[in-house]
Amino acid sequence: MTMTTTISPVAKADNGVNVSALLSARQALEQAPQAAQFKWRASCAWLNGTHSRSVIGNFFGLGAEQSRNKTFTVEADHPQVFASEDNAPTPVELVLSGLASCLTAGVAAVAQRRGIQLHSVKATLEADMDIQGILGMDDEVRNGFGAIRIHFDIQANATEDEIKALVAQSQKRSAVFDIITNPTSVFVTVN
Amino acid sequence: MKFATTVIIGAGQSGLAMSRHLTDRSIDHVVLERGEVANSWRTERWDSLRLLTPNWQSRLPGYAYQGDDPDGFMSMPEVVRFLQRYAEVSNAPVETGTLVTRVWPLDAGYAVSTNQGAWRCRALVIASGACNIAATPSLSAGLPHEVASLTPMQYRNPDLLPEGGVMIVGASASGIQLAREIRASGRRVVLSVGEHVRMPRTYRGRDIQWWMDAIGAMDVRYDAIEDIERARHLPSPQLVGTAERETIDLNSLRKAGVEFMGRLVGLNDGKAHFSGSLANFCALADLKMNRLLASIDEWVSSSGLADRFPAPQRYQPTVVDPQTKLSLDLNDGIGTFIWATGYRADYSWLDVPVLDRKGRIRHDGGVISAPGMYVMGLPFMRRRKSSFIDGAGDDAADLAAHLSLGLTRAAA
Ligand SMILES: Cc1cc2nc3c(=O)[nH]c(=O)nc-3n(C[C@H](O)[C@H](O)[C@H](O)COP(=O)(O)OP(=O)(O)OC[C@H]3O[C@@H](n4cnc5c(N)ncnc54)[C@H](O)[C@@H]3O)c2cc1C
């Protein structure tokens, strides 16, 4: 009997993503799909004016409550042109940041899986908004973004098409990209 | 109860190829078919459909296309004649008009009940097809009653459609072929585009199917590829079989006046809502097509054949209108929805615990864990070509060998 050893593509690159752990998680979840049900949470308290602070801590997943050994805080406010104090980014900017971070994490993970060493990844985002919507001036204008444009500047050991494919695959598997491009039901209760 | 060593369910190319191999091995068997031979090709396809695989690629064990147009594409009556003739020359023991209503395990084998009496067998081959039911997304329930709802299995031709524009959901082979034909009849056509597979009809002077065959892509085995789950659920390629060898893609449909939307994600209050992911799905499809073309180019150069074929070329990237709308008012002239959202198999008659949680058969290259039970014709079942006419032969050869060995072992 002969043995052949093949170098796994995962070993060729190190982007700091533990892809084999992700792959074994996928395998394990195939046996126990109910463990794939996650719940993400945040709480938000009003500070003053348009300034608020969200606290992010525990989440639910893999069939159990997952506690972190710390909590994170994220503040939001509005800029001075909206007569606010500009203590923190606006919520819509945080949405852009969420999208960028999700896609960037995806690029790193896909690159790792494909054995592509990343040197640098930079995403630049711009979103259009007609504020006649949020000001209630025109019912035909939506509140949210008209469009989002993202530019990725990526240096990596790969061809141009391979890099484009990383970004495309990252969009295909991105939670925030999905949240933004597809509708989601929102249910709000009070007190 | 009648007895056959092996019962094959279904007389399409899969069942007939298996029958041929069992005959060659002198294993007595019967092929139970609810309709006539090639029933799916006779009754479940639209009028204008031609194969998207060229005539020369209709190859079955001991039988192949013999006509004078090897590069042409068969019409449905031609496919039916081709398979009917195969059943005849193979002397396939087909019992037509025999609907299998239940299969359940016995001590050593299976019981098969039908509308024509029951059978007992030691081995069972499920060749009942991968495309028995047109799969429609659950959101289709939100379609207003005034709008007609059809699947490609019910669609026949543009003249039979109700008045008005047509929304086609899905841009795989079925969806783009229907979009092309219905648009050509003068109707407004809106196509909802999710994941799709783009391919030119011809490349470097040959049919794309010729290339995929030549570079060995169609013979790639299920156990040799990394993500088989994904490969098995890939949409069918955007190809159409026409005499002009026309390439059909979103760019050509756009020129013809078809309108595009992203993936359909909601239907309510008389409105359809679409995903903002259209640009990415088009980018994915362009990149994937270019990888296929690059692997063809590599094969040509490494085989030293570069001077035998025209030079490599690349195609215009898919044009995506930045103004693409995200919703459509259905009162705005849409009379029909066609759900070209894929097909699935029907195993409602199968009373053996071999299905996964999504109702799909669990198998290892067509070998089912229940002893003596096999399946044929599923996407990428043993090879990339498994669900094609051209794939039935090699799969049947492998599975017939396995089946035969199992019978011998059981007898020993
Ligand atoms: C629109 C369309 C176009 C396609 N074009 C091509 C192409 O161009 N080239 C290509 O190679 N492939 C093509 N295919 C893929 C494939 O070749 C076909 O799906 C083909 O019909 C599959 O053959 P099969 O023998 O596996 O199954 P089928 O042809 O579906 O045969 C299954 C048989 O089983 C019978 N059956 C089912 N259930 C029962 C039951 N309970 N009892 C008794 N009998 C039963 C059916 O009546 C049928 O005759 C196409 C598929 C579709 C849907």
Three-class secondary structure assignment of chain B: CEECCEEEECCCHHHHHHHHHHHHCCCCEEEECCCCCCHHHHHCCCCCCECCCCHHHCEECCEECCCCCCCCCCEHHHHHHHHHHHHHHCCCCEECCCCEEEEEEECCEEEEEEECEEEEECEEEECCCCCCEECCCHHHHHCCCCCEEECCCCCCCHHHCCCCEEEEECCCHHHHHHHHHHHHCCCCEEEECCCCECCCCEECCEEHHHHHHHCCHHHCEHHHCCCHHHHHCCCCECCCCCCCCCCCCHHHHHHCCCEEECCEEEEECCEEEECCCHHHHHHHHHHHHHHHHHHHHHHHHHCCCHHHCCCCCCCCCCCCCCCCCCEEECCCCEEEEEECCCEECCCCCECCCCECCCCCECEECCEECCCCEEECCCCCCCECCCCCHHHHHHHHHHHHHHHHHHHHHHHC
What CATH number corresponds to the domain at position A9? Answer: 3.30.300.20
Q: Are B31 and B10 in contact (CB under 8 A)?
A: yes
Answer yes or no: do B120 and B199 share one domain: no
* Substitution candidate for ligand 1 out of B59, B90, B341, B387 with most atoms within 8 A of CB: B387
Atom number in ligand 1 closest to CA B385: 11
Estimate to the nearest angstrom the gap between the alpha carbon of B336 and the chain centroid: 24
Q: Is residue A189 part of a domain?
A: no
In this structure, are B40 and B91 located in the same domain? yes
Rounded-to-integer distance, Cα B333 and Cα B108, Å: 60
- In this structure, which amino acid lies at residue B362? R
Q: Verify whether the Cβ–Cβ distance B280 to A182 is below 8 Å.
A: no
Q: Which two tokens stand for residue B125?
A: 């081959």
Contact A16, A108 (CB under 8 A): yes
Q: Compute how many other C-beta atoms are within 10 angstroms of the C-beta atom of residue A72.
A: 10
Same domain flag for B195 and B306: yes
Query: Which tokens belong to B53?
Result: 């695989």
What is the best residue among B41, B55, B131, B207 to mutate for testing ligand 1's pocket, by most ligand atoms within 8 Å of CB?
A: B131
**Closest in A165, A177, A183 to B266, CB measured:** A183
Sort out which chain B residues have CB atoms less than 8 A from A33's CB and list them.
Answer: 357
Number of domains in chain A: 1
Other C-beta atoms closer than 10 Å to the C-beta of A24 total 11
What is the CB neighbour count within 10 angstroms for residue B207? 21
pLDDT at residue B72, as a whole number: 98
- Residue in chain B closest to A149 (alpha carbons) equals B322
Q: Which residues of chain B have pLDDT under 70?
A: none
pLDDT greater at residue A69 or residue B394: B394
Instruction: Answer yes or no: do B118 and B149 share one domain.
Output: no
Residue A110 with chain B: CB contacts under 8 Å: none
B307, B339, B371 - which closes a domain = B339
How far is residue A88 CA from its own chain's centroid? 19
Boundary-marking domain end, from B302, B321, B339: B339
Q: What pLDDT sits at residue A91?
A: 97
Among B339, B355, B387, give the residue marking a domain's end: B339
Contact B276 A181 (CB under 8 A): yes
Neighbours of B313 (CB within 10 A): 10
Ligand 1 center to B12 CA (angstroms): 6
Q: Considering only residues 163 to 182 of chain A, which have any Cβ-Cβ distance to chain B shorter than 8 Å?
A: 164-165, 168-169, 171-172, 177-178, 180-182
Q: pLDDT tens digits, residue range A94-151?
A: 999 999 999 999 999 999 999 999 999 999 999 999 999 999 999 889 999 999 999 9
**Domain encompassing residue B237:** 135-339
Model pTM above 0.80: yes
pLDDT tens sequence across B299-353: 999 999 999 999 999 999 999 999 999 999 998 899 999 999 999 999 999 999 9
Give the pLDDT confidence score for residue A28 in this predicted structure: 83
Residue A191 is assigned to a structural domain of this protein: no
Looking at the 3D structure of chain B, how many domains does it have?
2
- Tokens 């034909």 map to which residue? B181
Q: Is B170:B155 a contact under the CB 8 Å cutoff?
A: no
- Report the chain B residue with the minimal C-alpha distance to residue A185: B266
Residue A136 near chain B (CB below 8 Å): no
pLDDT number for residue A32? 85
Residues B173 and B75 in one domain: no
Indicate which of A181, A184, A185, A186 best probes the interface with B, i.e. most B CBs within 10 Å of its own CB.
A181
B275:A182 CB<8 A: yes
For an interface test with A, give the residue of B263, B274, B275, B360 to mutate (most A CBs within 10 A). B275
Q: Indicate the residue type of A1.
A: M
What percentage of chain B reaches a pLDDT higher than 90? Answer: 96
Q: Are residues B277 and B305 in the same domain?
A: yes
Strands B165-169 and B189-192: parallel
Are the beta carbons of B28 and B89 closer than 8 angstroms?
no
Chain A residue whose CA is closest to B277: A181
Residue B325 and residue B237 in one domain: yes
Which residue has the CA at smallest separation from atom 17 of ligand 1? B388
Type of residue at A37: Q
User: So what's the ipTM on this one?
Assistant: 0.85
Residues B194 and B122 reside in one and the same domain: no
Chains A and B form CB pairs within 8 A to the count of 36
Ligand 1 midpoint to CA B26 (Å) = 26
Domain of A93, in residue numbers: 2-181
d(C-alpha A187, C-alpha A191), whole Å: 14
Check which CATH number belongs to the domain holding B62 and give it: 3.50.50.60
* Closest atom of ligand 1 relative to the B38 alpha carbon: 49
Q: Verify that B367 and B400 share a domain, yes or no.
A: yes
Predicted pLDDT of residue A5 = 39
- A161–B287: do the CB atoms touch at under 8 Å? yes
Question: For B367-383, how does the pLDDT look when each residue is reduced to its tens digit (9 = 90+)?
Answer: 999 999 999 999 999 99
Closest to A185 measured CA to CA, from B48, B266, B88, B55:
B266
Supply the pLDDT for residue A3.
Answer: 40
Same domain for B277 and B359?
A: no
Tell whether A66 is covered by a domain.
Answer: yes
> Which has the closest alpha carbon to B407: B127, B121, B126?
B121
Residue A11: pLDDT band with limits 50, 70, 90: low
Do B160 and B293 fall into the same domain?
yes
CB proximity list for A128: less than 8 A, separation 6 or greater: A145, A146, A147, A148
A188 within domain boundaries: no
Q: Are residues B193 and B294 in the same domain?
A: yes
Asked if residue B377 has its Cβ within 6 Å of ligand 1, the reply is yes
Q: How far is the CA of A147 from the centre of ligand 1 (A)?
A: 43
